[in-house]
Amino acid sequence: MQLMRKFIIILFVLTSYSSQAQNTKIIVLKQFLTDIIKLDGKVLDKEQPIASINEIAKLKADKTIEINYETIGNALLEAKNYKHCLISVDGHTLLKVVSFKDSSLSGTWHVATPLCKGYVQKSGVLYEKKDYLKNLIGSPDSQIRTMYLFN
């Protein structure tokens, strides 16, 4: 009986911790987007918040561009005309451009990629990243990369 009670307490603590971590991810992402998209009252998926944000961004962006090997150069040029540029990779990475002036040439993408910061979700954990776009979105492949432009 004593062992069962300890097991139940441990299970309860772990469940509470997991729920708190999920809520923390949502709070962090809402703060990250505060000057771009207002998410007040929006329900985000606790397991896949970036996927939820992608859906909201599609509706609120002034322009949406799918990024691939052929389109990235023109997309980055166009993004310079907007106040904010978000870029997502599938439902696991969300970035915003920090500086188009601070850029690094990508041998894989064949364009200069801007400095970005954002979050990558791996195994349910949100990791903060700051690097050049080429290092955050990986090599051209079948993943869906989307640019959301806002004024």
Task: Please count the other Cβ atoms lying within 10 Å of the Cβ belonging to residue 5.
Answer: 9
- Which tens digits make up the pLDDT trace of 55-83? 999 999 999 999 999 999 999 999 999 99
pLDDT of residue 4: 55
Q: pLDDT band for position 45 (50/70/90)?
A: confident
> What rounded mean pLDDT belongs to the chain?
87
Q: How far apart are CA 96 and CA 84, in angstroms?
A: 7
pLDDT of residue 146: 98
Count of structural domains within the chain: 1
Which carries the bigger pLDDT value, residue 93 or residue 4? 93
Q: How far apart are CA 151 and CA 77, in angstroms?
A: 15
pLDDT of residue 38: 84
Tell me which residue range forms the domain holding 46.
2-150
Distance from the Cα of residue 32 to its chain's centroid = 9
Helix ranges (H only) for the chain are 2-32, 49-60, 72-79, 133-137
